[in-house]
Amino acid sequence: MRDRAIIVAVRDKNNYKYFDETLEELKDLLSFAGAELKFVVIQKAHEINPSTLIGKGKIQEIKNLADHFDVNLIVFLNHLTPAQFKNLEKEFQNIKLIDRVGLILDIFAQRARTIEGKLQVELAQLNYLLPRIVGYGKMLSRLGGGIGTRGPGEKQLTIEKRKILKRINYIRKRLEMVQKNRSIQRKGRLRSNYPIVSIVGYTNAGKSTLFNVLTKSNVDVDRRAFTTLDPKTELAYIDDKTQVLLIDTVGFVRNLPKELMDAFKATFEELIYSDLHILLFDVSNPNFESHISYTNKLLDDLGASFIPKINVFNKIDKLSEEEINKIKEKYPDFIMISAKNKQNVDILKKQIKRKILEVTNEYKN
């Protein structure tokens, strides 16, 4: 049975610039997680309530809405501190509470497939839940599964902090072993003499579709967020004389949770070892310009901004000719493609070959 949810979003001086974008993104994330959105509650605030995030009047309004719509899940756009979570948990006795960070972690828990991916997600969830363990323990003792209760599981989240810390240390040691194996695989790729090209961008930008087109493989393609959690590598034939190792990477979202950035550090570090980045953006998304700036900022934060790149707009099949021409005028250096229809992919291939030749010549010199 699907969770029935209310979204609560506080607009303040810290988030007003990207409030509408992040709210729409949260709606998509909630849908990706499998919940049914019943209502959105928005509060404008000059100052955040340090105790409960929202005021008493708004709490009562949400309670009334929850009763009316028979809601069992409340999702907060804003990050909840452990104290806010604990206090809100007292107000909403029989309703699961989760914030945007927790929701993203939940989606990652659904998508994880490999041992490394599952360990990384569990580590991120436990680090996120550790300061909130008292509230989550009470909540999970009363409620069943669903959003906010996936991943490590009910038993893991209700034991005392000492055992949680022990579990965190155990996972870190396991990840060190797994990542040593990843390092061996990376060295093998570097010794292969094939240039390494990574497809980078926001979640749902069409990275896996482009990966399939270039490699002629059959990686899962899904419009839901974070379909790709574990980087996939295949040989791609750019032309008869040019082959590259192509990597399909984890998708970005704005303000990716620190817990995930830390847990997936080794995965994101793969980007540093690439010879070329294909930065892919969904040009049909109304917020594509902020996606460009955030992607470049994240690459800079990861220390990977020095890698040569090709900027690509995907999903031009969703735009009119007039819209495409306007965007071309503003972004003349971007390649416009439709990975789905294979439109202009030949142009992208030529640019990949040109860039790879430039990189190869630099190495020789």
Domain boundaries defined on the chain: 4-163, 192-364
* Most confident of the following: 83-97, 110-124, 150-164, 325-339: 325-339
Most confident of 189-198, 248-257, 345-354, 355-364: 345-354
Specify whether the backbone of 177 is left (phi greater than 0), alpha (psi in -120 to 50) or beta: alpha
Domain 4-163 shares a fold with domain 192-364: yes
Q: Which CATH architecture has domain 4-163?
A: 3-Layer(aba) Sandwich (3.40)
Contact (CB, 8 A) for 284 and 315: yes
pTM of the model as a whole:
0.77
Reported confidence tier of residue 159, pLDDT bands at 50, 70, 90: low
Question: Residue 113 class from Cβ within 10 Å (0-12 exposed, 13-18 middle, 19+ buried)?
Answer: exposed
- Quickly state the pLDDT bin for 359 (edges 50, 70, 90): confident
pLDDT, mean of residues 218-225: 53
Contact (CB, 8 A) for 244 and 352: yes
Neighbouring residues of 63: CB distance < 8 A, sequence distance ≥ 6 = 91, 92
Q: What would the mean pLDDT of 185-214 be, rounded to a whole number? A: 82
Helix residue ranges per DSSP H, 33-73: 56-69
Q: Which residue has the tokens 């008493």?
A: 56
Distance, CA of 365 to CA of 357 (rounded, Å): 12
Structure tokens given for 111: 């998508």
- pLDDT at position 270 is 73
Backbone angles phi, psi at 257, to 5 degrees: -50, 140
Angular region, 25: left φ>0, alpha ψ -120 to 50, beta rest: alpha
* Contact present, 288 and 326 (Cβ < 8 Å): no
- According to CATH, the superfamily of the domain at 192-364 is P-loop containing nucleotide triphosphate hydrolases (3.40.50.300)
Q: What's the confidence (pLDDT) of residue 148?
A: 60
Instruction: List the 335-336 sheet strands across, edge first.
Output: 232-237, 243-248, 196-201, 276-282, 309-314, 335-336
Please write the tens of the pLDDT for every residue from 41-80. Answer: 999 988 888 999 999 999 999 999 999 999 999 999 999 9
Question: With bands split at pLDDT 50, 70 and 90, how would you rate the model's confidence at 39?
Answer: very high
pLDDT at 84: 93
What H or E segment, with its residue span, contains residue 244? Answer: strand 243-248
| pLDDT the model gives residue 155 | 52
3-state SS, residue 297: helix
Query: How much is the CA Rg of the chain, to the nearest whole Å?
Result: 22
Burial of residue 311 (CB within 10 Å: 0-12, 13-18, 19+) is: middle
Strands 96-99 and 73-76: parallel
Mean pLDDT of the chain: 83
Longest C-alpha distance within the chain, in Å? Answer: 70
